[in-house]
A and B are shown apart, each in its own frame.
Chain A
Amino acid sequence: MSRLPRSFGIFVFALVVVAGLVIWTILPRTSNEGYIPEQPIPFSHKLHAGQYKMDCRYCHGSAYKSAHAGVPSLSTCMGCHTVVKTDSPWIQQIQKAYAEGKPIEWLRVHELPDHAHFNHKRHLAKGVTCQTCHGNVQEMDKVYQAQPLTMGWCLNCHRGFEAPKNVLKSTYPEQENPEGPVAPFSCNTCHY
């Protein structure tokens, strides 16, 4: 059996690499980690939540009441921006939209598929902070997806492996170094 020329080996290797790259490119992504879209208005969480220390609930109030955190209505923005920084062209754009009754079309950063039901209220009630899933939003000029938001990532916390300390402690108050699941992980906890 004759030896194949060396160039053939290189060719095969190159083929595998290219095929791999192509497959990697076309395969659907399970995680959108790092997604950082350009919003129609460059709203800065770093300014509002970081510098001015506005409570998350001021705008995302329904996070404590509902499965959905909600995005504030324009009237919430106008609560301050009828008087604050009215010289900014962006703010003027908001005022115009408000006057015309046209909502701003924000781009969604954190999105779970429709078959996964996430409930903000239940997580907050358990003591999970906003930052656990959304990252340090108060330091983000542009909001991006800081965590993978994949099922394995969710389960890591539900089963207690990477659960926040306070959640573990509140679930197992009598243990010194609490460990164990902190939330149900039946399929129909989220999928129904």
Chain B
Amino acid sequence: MKEVSVEATSTTPQAPRYWTGIDELSPSYWADSKAQEKRGQEFFDKPIETLEMIEKLDSSGVTRRDFLTVMGAGMAMASFACARRPVNKIIPYVVQPLEVTVGVPLHYASTCQECSKGCGILVKTREGRPIKIEGNDKHPSNEGALCSQGQASVLGLYDPDRLKGPVFAQRSGNTAAISWSEFDSATVKLLKSARSVRLLTGATHGPSTRKAGKEFLAAFSNASWIEIDVLAEHDLFEAAEASYGRRVDPHFYFEKADVVLSVGADFLGTWGNPVQNSKQWSKRRKLMERGDSLSKVFVAEGNLSITGGSADVRIPILSGGEAAFLGALARELIVDQKKTRFAGQSDVVSFLESLPKDQLLAKAGGVERAKVVEVATALYEARGKSLVVAGGSFAAQVLANLLNSALENDGVTVDGTSEALDALSSIRRLSQLVAEMETGVVDVLIIQGTNPAYFLPGSARFSEALKKVKTVISIADRIDETAAQADYVGAESHGLESWGDARSQASVYSLSQPTISPIHDTRSFGDQLLAWVRAGVAGNGLLAQIAAKPSSNFYDFIKENWKTSLYSTLGRGKTFVDFWETTLQEGVVQATAPSAFARTFNTRALQVIAGSLKSSESPSITLSRQGPVTEASGVALQLYTKAAIGDGRMANNAWLQELPEPMSTLTWDNCLNVSVALAKEMDLVTNDVVRITGAGGATLEVPVLVQPGLLKGAVALAVGYGRTAVGKVGNKVGVNAFTLATLDAASGLRLSGLKVSFAKTGKKYDLAMTQAHHRLSAQEIMQSKDRPIVNDISFAAWKKDPAAEKHTDPHLRLKEVPTLWAAPFDYASQPYRWGMAIDLNSCTGCGACVVACQAENNTPVVGRDRVRQSREMHWLRIDRYYSGSVDQPSVIFQPMTCQQCENAPCETVCPVLATTHSEDGLNQMTYSRCVGTRYCQNNCPYKVRRFNFFDHWKDYKDTMNMVWNPDVTVRSRGIMEKCTFCVQRINTSKGKAKDLARPIPDGELKTACQQTCPSEAIVFGNINDPKSKVSKYRENPRAFRVLEILNTKPMISYMTKVRNVEEQAEDHHTNGHHS
């Protein structure tokens, strides 16, 4: 490998090859002594609570001596209190359920209810309470993995802000608790006298709920059902209908694609089912042996998403220019290069010829033609094994369909076997409903599982229209923005408390079962429909039949529905009881996929999009100066989705709020991502507050984050924040970006390509970003090419020499190092020695592992203020490194956790032996011994130790403390903690192995992070077993250890990231390298 050094993008020749923030690219940053001091700080100065305490003391006139006296007395009293052990009680069951053994967890297969994708889950319960959720490896969608939301849903179950029972809300917020019988009788009376009923729900996963809803509505002469998922890919379904004549949710096979082009589709983070996409994508990113292939991923996008970060070639475009980019690409491929079968088809050719190509490229943000040629060539060479996915608009989807058809991908990488979708209404249907409501014809509106008062922009006039509806009944788990305007609110059970079923993809049906009886006096939506029928609404079909049975519930409905509908096709000769119980146990059943239908692209679809493509609206930013304030107008705003927060329904979940956003590492807020170029021109820096003005006149004040990798005219803001009625945790966190969206009859709710203007307000805000925390990057390391913390090479270089780029300076590679100990312990002869390998080539940075670790290990949340002080408690963090230029950076994500060093620097400095080494090679942390000197934290070169400055567990109030994992100690104040490689799981596995008198088989024992990783980037196992997967990973030439030069002998190996680019192309791509 040639020596690669970085030519500074601006002036300095000293800029590091890998950098974490743009400030590091300036030479003054490295020279500045203040910055240097801050870099070296584990925690930032001015701890807030100390200052507050001092201020209080000062103002109250208490002297320091008084303070110490009082404290001393307090200590003495505390000691008295400890003199007797607390008397604890044992309260056994009255009748112990047969399946329960105290202390042994039970797992139930169910379906995740947090979004509409319906991944299979296994719920781990202890003594009847769910404590951890993992993916069900039998489910074909997620194959055992789960995203951060799925991992965090167990905390949502114990959310203390959930409704405790039904309420009479009176549209005023003056709520009065009522009983269910009062709720039923009052609502049924209103329902019976209603001339028209509308049911507005979120995405309904299941065939049974759908059937029950239909049968319920059949009782009314004028009734209809509007089913809305605000972030669903409505354009995708509609484009499928226009292009192929069938409204389907197509299935994409990323594992079969050699070349993938994504235009505005964050398929690894938020688009489609990201867990499934990541699983499939990662299967083509594992490079173990010479000759292994690597897929090539092109991403063109407006914001820098994690998909863009994992792309081989990323092309920054302007949001709203997705269709223009695809149009230019189609024209290049079909007309200019005269390739594919459409080249001879006059209607397609004439349509494409009519597209003004230069204008299209300008609309996409000034993309070079060479880029389009590169993409077109790569896609065509891999035709039949390539894949185009798109997001952003209907036109983009139609063009993606055209390209997939042209490239012969239909039926190969994108299937033609998807069944027609159940009727998920388009967001346009919601506008029609609002119009209906405004005319006053809607008597009763039932709203369940959706929150239009929050996500519809003010221009939609939803709240005003709601006032004209006679009766609004909300079925919700809290008095959210919409339920606050309802007459009656029926308290809804959590997904983990309810029966349900789901169809997560074509031919895959799964069941969800309650894993705890409802904590509060709540009902599932299905049970509510049954209750209404029982209370007098004339039911129909199965719903009436089940309601007539005494003490029946929605379980009976689902079972009967499966018996009459699904059993005949899925039963496969089993008796129904057998079929039902097997399905319930496994959680999922898969039918044989229906035979493929011919996906013949209907070229008439192109005529539909012609207008929007040809409109010659070309982006241009204008900067106007009014005194010292610069206003930028005409910038393209993308309202993007964060994987953790989604559409905001889980905003009250503290685990998700504190999960750093992968690219910006921002917690507890959303911010406006602004390009480096525009920020420079407007003299904006991160933390400046700007006022955005949207097309409809809506304004928002939001802090700025200067984000590398954006085109000058592109800005982005995450939705899902700024909730006002979600609960104590999520209220007023960030701003509601949905208010800037536009709703119109033609294109539904538009979230991308919004033309906005913004100007500086002069205010400042302190964004709680973890980027600069826990740095293991001293100047020497960051600037040295010899001691890389992360590594990446081009595929071409890897093919030549798989060991290339691994610790390039031979003098710094330690071959044989004298041990620190007189008689070193012989770890190699022990039965087990635990090690881990993390493949940087598969890690997408999604953050599911961070939440999984938090759930498994009782890691607390600390809140925004303490994140600002660098006191977040996550045992596992994901470091993000950029390389190359600020305009087109390459991204590497590196999960960083305790390296379980053999020569652990932390162990030698602990004065009380609280951290020591176990015989199976773990760096163990004994909480009960720790006295909190924090020497270990200071001496850890990886900065992975976390200190409890407070009793954070006290924040887990009410029902929330039920979420703790009883196998892991809840740490109190003054204690150091860190990753243990999930030692509780190791001990459980060892016990099982002893019972069965065999060693732990490779792959049986999984750490929480490894188990949930959607891209299988984490491998864990016994490195004393040469046949184990982790041993093979560690011996692979791609493996390197971080800061190996320090002779810490880490037990975690990282695998160099390999980008599928040619060597020259790499230099061009990263734009700063030269040879």
Q: Which residues of A contact B (CB under 8 A)?
A: 25-29, 32, 35, 37, 62, 65-68, 70-76, 97-98, 101-108, 111, 113-117, 119, 121-122, 125, 184, 186-189, 191-192
Contacts and interface: CB of A to CB of B under 8 A. Distances in A.
B980 interface: yes
Contacts of A32: 85
A119 B87 contact: no
A108 B102 contact: no
Given A26-B80, A191-B969, A103 B94 contact: yes
A92 B613 CA distance: 85
Contacts of B37: none
A133 to B, nearest CB: 17
Contacts of A35: 85
B103 A70 contact: yes
A37 B102 CA distance: 23
B919 A191 contact: no
B983 A74 contact: no
B94 A74 contact: yes
Interface string B959-989: 0000000011110000000001001100100
B928 A192 contact: no
A101 B93 CA distance: 9
Interface string B500-516: 00000000000000000
A60 B79 CA distance: 36
Given A28-B82, A188-B922, A75 B102 contact: no
B991 A121 contact: yes
A106 B103 contact: no
Interface in B967-1018: 967-970, 980, 983-984, 987, 991, 994-995
B980 A187 contact: no
14 contacts: A28-B82, A29-B85, A73-B93, A74-B95, A75-B96, A97-B94, A105-B89, A108-B89, A119-B991, A121-B991, A186-B919, A187-B926, A188-B987, A192-B983
B103, B918, B968, B991 interface centre (most CB from chain A within 10 Å):
B103
A37 to B, nearest CB: 7
A73 B94 contact: yes
B51 interface: no
B90 interface: yes
A106 B92 CA distance: 8
Nearest to B991: A122
A72 to B, nearest CB: 6
A165 to B, nearest CB: 21
A116 B926 CA distance: 10
Given A26-B79, A29-B83, A122-B994, A103 B92 contact: yes
B686 to A, nearest CB: 39
Contacts, number: 130
Contacts of A116: 928
Given A66-B102, A107-B87, A115-B927, A188 B918 contact: yes
Given A107-B90, A122-B991, A192-B924, 14 more contacts: A62-B101, A73-B92, A74-B94, A76-B96, A103-B93, A103-B94, A107-B88, A107-B89, A113-B928, A114-B969, A119-B991, A186-B920, A187-B929, A192-B980
Nearest to A72: B92
Given A62-B101, A74-B94, A192-B987, A187 B924 contact: yes
A2 B95 CA distance: 79
Contact of A111 (B88, B919, B987): B88
Given A62-B101, A66-B102, A106 B89 contact: yes
A192 B90 contact: no
A62 B102 contact: yes
Interface string B80-121: 101111011111111110000111100000000000000000
Given A114-B969, A117-B967, A187-B924, A67 B92 contact: no
B83 A74 contact: no
B104 A71 contact: no
Contacts of B970: 114
B94 A187 contact: no
Contacts of B916: 186-187
Contact of A28 (B79, B95, B919, B987): B79
B76 interface: yes
Nearest to A74: B94
B93 A111 contact: no
A114 B991 CA distance: 20
A192 B988 CA distance: 12
Contacts of A106: 89-92
Interface of B: 76, 79-80, 82-85, 87-96, 101-104, 916, 918-920, 922, 924, 926-929, 967-970, 980, 983-984, 987, 991, 994-995
A62 B924 contact: no
B964 to A, nearest CB: 10
A76 B76 CA distance: 46
A188 B96 contact: no
Contact of A66 (B83, B93, B104, B918): B104
A27 B83 CA distance: 6
Nearest to A100: B94
A155 to B, nearest CB: 13
B102, B104, B967 interface centre (most CB from chain A within 10 Å):
B102
A103 to B, nearest CB: 5
Nearest to A109: B90
A37 B969 CA distance: 27
B102 A68 contact: yes
A27 B969 CA distance: 24
Contacts of B987: 117, 119, 188-189, 192
B100 to A, nearest CB: 9
Contact of B83 (A28, A117, A187): A28
B131 to A, nearest CB: 15
A105 B91 CA distance: 5
A62 B103 contact: yes
A27 B92 contact: no
A111 B93 CA distance: 19
B976 to A, nearest CB: 13
B641 to A, nearest CB: 37
B92 A74 contact: yes
A125 B918 CA distance: 23
B94 A101 contact: yes
A111 B87 CA distance: 10
A28, A74, A125 interface centre (most CB from chain B within 10 Å):
A28
Contacts of B918: 186-189
Contacts of A103: 91-94
Contacts of A70: 92, 101-103
A184 B924 CA distance: 14
CB-based closest 6 A-B pairs: A66-B103, A186-B918, A68-B103, A73-B96, A73-B93, A28-B82
A94 to B, nearest CB: 11
A32 B94 CA distance: 29
Contacts of A97: 94
A115 B969 CA distance: 5
Nearest to B927: A115
A32 B922 CA distance: 32
A18 B85 CA distance: 23
Given A75-B95, A103-B91, A188-B983, A25 B919 contact: no
A71 to B, nearest CB: 4
Nearest to A116: B928
Given A62-B102, A122-B994, A191 B89 contact: no
A109 to B, nearest CB: 9
A115 to B, nearest CB: 4
B90 A191 contact: no
A125 B994 contact: yes
B451 to A, nearest CB: 39
Nearest to B969: A115
Contacts of A73: 92-96
Contacts of A75: 93-96
Contacts of A74: 92-95
A70 B97 CA distance: 13
Contacts of A101: 94
Contacts of B88: 107-108, 111
